[in-house]
Amino acid sequence: MMNTMKTPLALLSVILLCAALSAASPRPLRQLPRSPPLDSSSTWNNLMEMVKDAQAQDRDHETRLIPVIPSEKLRDTSMCCPNIKILRFYLNDILHNESYSRMQLVRHDLHRVARDLESHCNSHLADLEHFQTFTQNLVRAGEMYKNNIKAQNKAIGEANILFHYLYETCKPPGMKL
Protein backbone atom coordinates (compact mmCIF):
# COMPACT_ATOMS: atom_id res chain seq x y z
CA MET A 1 0.00 0.00 0.00
CA MET A 2 2.93 2.32 0.69
CA ASN A 3 4.24 1.93 -2.91
CA THR A 4 0.87 2.80 -4.44
CA MET A 5 0.78 5.97 -2.36
CA LYS A 6 4.29 7.06 -3.44
CA THR A 7 3.43 7.06 -7.15
CA PRO A 8 0.63 9.69 -6.96
CA LEU A 9 2.71 11.79 -4.53
CA ALA A 10 5.74 11.64 -6.83
CA LEU A 11 3.57 12.57 -9.81
CA LEU A 12 2.04 15.46 -7.87
CA SER A 13 5.52 16.63 -6.85
CA VAL A 14 6.72 16.63 -10.46
CA ILE A 15 3.63 18.56 -11.59
CA LEU A 16 4.08 21.16 -8.85
CA LEU A 17 7.78 21.50 -9.63
CA CYS A 18 7.04 22.03 -13.34
CA ALA A 19 4.39 24.61 -12.51
CA ALA A 20 6.77 26.48 -10.20
CA LEU A 21 9.56 26.48 -12.78
CA SER A 22 7.18 27.62 -15.49
CA ALA A 23 5.95 30.52 -13.38
CA ALA A 24 9.50 31.59 -12.56
CA SER A 25 10.87 31.37 -16.10
CA PRO A 26 11.39 34.66 -17.91
CA ARG A 27 8.75 35.47 -20.49
CA PRO A 28 9.09 37.81 -23.41
CA LEU A 29 7.77 41.27 -22.75
CA ARG A 30 4.26 41.81 -23.98
CA GLN A 31 4.10 43.79 -27.21
CA LEU A 32 2.71 47.27 -26.81
CA PRO A 33 -0.86 47.46 -28.05
CA ARG A 34 -1.80 49.52 -31.05
CA SER A 35 -2.90 53.11 -30.51
CA PRO A 36 -6.08 52.99 -28.35
CA PRO A 37 -8.20 55.23 -30.63
CA LEU A 38 -7.82 52.63 -33.41
CA ASP A 39 -9.74 50.17 -31.21
CA SER A 40 -12.22 52.69 -29.79
CA SER A 41 -15.82 52.43 -30.94
CA SER A 42 -16.42 56.07 -29.97
CA THR A 43 -13.55 57.17 -32.23
CA TRP A 44 -14.92 55.10 -35.12
CA ASN A 45 -18.44 56.52 -34.52
CA ASN A 46 -17.19 60.12 -34.35
CA LEU A 47 -15.14 59.59 -37.49
CA MET A 48 -18.12 58.14 -39.35
CA GLU A 49 -20.30 61.13 -38.37
CA MET A 50 -17.68 63.55 -39.67
CA VAL A 51 -17.25 61.52 -42.88
CA LYS A 52 -21.02 61.37 -43.39
CA ASP A 53 -21.21 65.19 -43.21
CA ALA A 54 -18.44 65.52 -45.81
CA GLN A 55 -19.91 62.89 -48.11
CA ALA A 56 -23.31 64.62 -48.02
CA GLN A 57 -21.63 67.67 -49.62
CA ASP A 58 -19.70 65.62 -52.21
CA ARG A 59 -21.30 65.05 -55.61
CA ASP A 60 -18.30 63.34 -57.22
CA HIS A 61 -18.54 59.65 -56.46
CA GLU A 62 -16.07 58.61 -59.16
CA THR A 63 -12.87 60.21 -57.86
CA ARG A 64 -10.85 58.64 -55.08
CA LEU A 65 -7.95 60.43 -53.41
CA ILE A 66 -6.50 57.78 -51.09
CA PRO A 67 -4.74 55.10 -53.16
CA VAL A 68 -6.23 51.61 -52.93
CA ILE A 69 -4.13 49.16 -50.94
CA PRO A 70 -4.72 45.57 -52.11
CA SER A 71 -5.95 43.30 -49.32
CA GLU A 72 -2.76 41.20 -49.29
CA LYS A 73 -0.73 44.39 -48.76
CA LEU A 74 -2.99 45.46 -45.86
CA ARG A 75 -1.33 42.75 -43.79
CA ASP A 76 2.08 44.24 -44.60
CA THR A 77 3.13 46.45 -41.71
CA SER A 78 5.53 48.32 -44.01
CA MET A 79 2.43 50.18 -45.25
CA CYS A 80 1.91 51.67 -41.78
CA CYS A 81 4.44 54.48 -42.25
CA PRO A 82 3.01 55.78 -45.56
CA ASN A 83 -0.44 55.83 -43.97
CA ILE A 84 0.93 57.74 -40.98
CA LYS A 85 2.45 60.26 -43.43
CA ILE A 86 -0.99 60.74 -44.97
CA LEU A 87 -2.49 61.06 -41.48
CA ARG A 88 0.02 63.80 -40.63
CA PHE A 89 -0.91 65.57 -43.87
CA TYR A 90 -4.59 65.37 -42.87
CA LEU A 91 -3.81 66.82 -39.44
CA ASN A 92 -1.61 69.63 -40.78
CA ASP A 93 -3.42 70.57 -43.98
CA ILE A 94 -6.98 69.24 -44.13
CA LEU A 95 -8.75 68.76 -40.79
CA HIS A 96 -9.30 72.40 -39.85
CA ASN A 97 -12.90 73.17 -40.81
CA GLU A 98 -15.03 73.05 -37.66
CA SER A 99 -18.27 72.95 -39.67
CA TYR A 100 -18.13 69.15 -39.76
CA SER A 101 -19.75 67.39 -36.82
CA ARG A 102 -17.33 65.92 -34.31
CA MET A 103 -14.27 67.32 -36.13
CA GLN A 104 -12.63 68.44 -32.90
CA LEU A 105 -13.08 64.99 -31.27
CA VAL A 106 -11.80 63.21 -34.37
CA ARG A 107 -8.80 65.52 -34.71
CA HIS A 108 -7.89 64.94 -31.05
CA ASP A 109 -8.01 61.14 -31.50
CA LEU A 110 -6.07 61.28 -34.76
CA HIS A 111 -3.33 63.35 -33.11
CA ARG A 112 -3.11 60.60 -30.49
CA VAL A 113 -2.85 57.92 -33.20
CA ALA A 114 -0.10 59.87 -35.01
CA ARG A 115 1.86 60.30 -31.77
CA ASP A 116 1.40 56.66 -30.70
CA LEU A 117 2.43 55.28 -34.08
CA GLU A 118 5.45 57.53 -34.61
CA SER A 119 7.75 54.62 -33.74
CA HIS A 120 6.39 52.68 -36.75
CA CYS A 121 8.16 55.13 -39.06
CA ASN A 122 11.84 54.30 -38.96
CA SER A 123 12.59 56.08 -42.20
CA HIS A 124 11.38 59.31 -43.71
CA LEU A 125 11.79 57.74 -47.14
CA ALA A 126 9.54 54.74 -46.50
CA ASP A 127 7.19 54.14 -49.44
CA LEU A 128 6.86 57.75 -50.54
CA GLU A 129 4.98 56.60 -53.62
CA HIS A 130 1.79 55.93 -51.62
CA PHE A 131 1.95 59.36 -49.97
CA GLN A 132 2.85 61.15 -53.21
CA THR A 133 -0.04 59.48 -55.04
CA PHE A 134 -2.43 60.79 -52.40
CA THR A 135 -1.10 64.36 -52.52
CA GLN A 136 -1.10 64.36 -56.34
CA ASN A 137 -4.69 63.10 -56.34
CA LEU A 138 -5.66 65.89 -53.93
CA VAL A 139 -4.01 68.57 -56.12
CA ARG A 140 -5.68 67.15 -59.26
CA ALA A 141 -9.06 67.11 -57.52
CA GLY A 142 -8.61 70.78 -56.55
CA GLU A 143 -7.81 71.61 -60.19
CA MET A 144 -10.70 69.51 -61.50
CA TYR A 145 -13.22 71.10 -59.10
CA LYS A 146 -11.52 74.50 -59.50
CA ASN A 147 -11.90 74.64 -55.74
CA ASN A 148 -9.46 73.37 -53.10
CA ILE A 149 -12.17 73.44 -50.41
CA LYS A 150 -14.14 70.83 -52.38
CA ALA A 151 -11.00 68.71 -52.73
CA GLN A 152 -10.40 68.93 -48.99
CA ASN A 153 -14.04 68.00 -48.38
CA LYS A 154 -13.45 64.95 -50.61
CA ALA A 155 -10.43 64.03 -48.45
CA ILE A 156 -12.48 64.42 -45.25
CA GLY A 157 -15.08 62.12 -46.80
CA GLU A 158 -12.34 59.50 -47.21
CA ALA A 159 -10.94 59.79 -43.66
CA ASN A 160 -12.66 56.52 -42.76
CA ILE A 161 -10.62 54.74 -45.47
CA LEU A 162 -7.39 56.15 -44.04
CA PHE A 163 -8.42 55.16 -40.51
CA HIS A 164 -9.21 51.63 -41.71
CA TYR A 165 -5.80 51.43 -43.40
CA LEU A 166 -4.12 52.57 -40.17
CA TYR A 167 -6.10 49.96 -38.24
CA GLU A 168 -5.03 47.19 -40.61
CA THR A 169 -1.40 48.12 -41.29
CA CYS A 170 -0.25 49.48 -37.92
CA LYS A 171 -0.43 46.39 -35.74
CA PRO A 172 2.19 45.28 -33.25
CA PRO A 173 4.23 42.37 -34.66
CA GLY A 174 2.44 39.05 -34.32
CA MET A 175 -0.97 40.59 -33.64
CA LYS A 176 -3.74 38.74 -35.42
CA LEU A 177 -7.15 40.17 -36.12
Tens digit of each residue's pLDDT (9 = 90 or more) over 128-141: 888 999 999 999 99
Is residue 32 situated within a structural domain?
no
Let me know if residue 138 belongs to a domain: yes
Report the pLDDT averaged over residues 25-46.
Answer: 73
Burial of 5 (0-12, 13-18, 19+ CB in 10 A): exposed
The answer to whether residue 4 is domain-embedded is no
How many domains does the chain contain in total? 1
Residue 101 Cα distances to 22, 25, 48, 129, angstroms = 53, 52, 10, 32
Q: Does the structure show a pLDDT above 70 at 6?
A: no
- Residue 139 forms part of a structural domain: yes
Which of 24-28, 152-156, 167-171 is predicted least confidently? Answer: 24-28
pLDDT for the residue 129: 86
Examine residue 9 and state whether it is found in any structural domain, yes or no: no
| Position 97 in a domain | yes
Range of the domain at 114: 41-61+78-177
Within a domain: residue 23?
no
Cα separation, 58 vs 60, whole angstroms: 6
Q: Is the pLDDT of residue 176 over 60?
A: no
Banded pLDDT at 118 (limits 50, 70, 90):
confident
Q: Is the pLDDT of residue 98 over 80?
A: yes
Q: Residue 111: which pLDDT band, with cuts at 50, 70 and 90?
A: very high
33 pLDDT tier (thresholds 50, 70, 90): low
What's the CA gap between 22 and 63, in Å, rounded? 57
User: Considering the domain boundaries, does residue 33 fall inside one?
Assistant: no
What's the mean pLDDT in 72-96?
90
pTM of the model: 0.77
Asked if pLDDT for residue 31 goes beyond 60, the answer is no
Mean pLDDT in residue range 90-111: 95
User: What CATH code is carried by the domain that includes residue 138?
Assistant: 1.20.1250.10
Alpha helices (H) in 25-158, listed in sequence order: 41-57, 71-74, 80-89, 103-116, 128-145, 148-157
pLDDT of residue 175: 56
Q: What is the mean pLDDT of residues 22-46?
A: 70
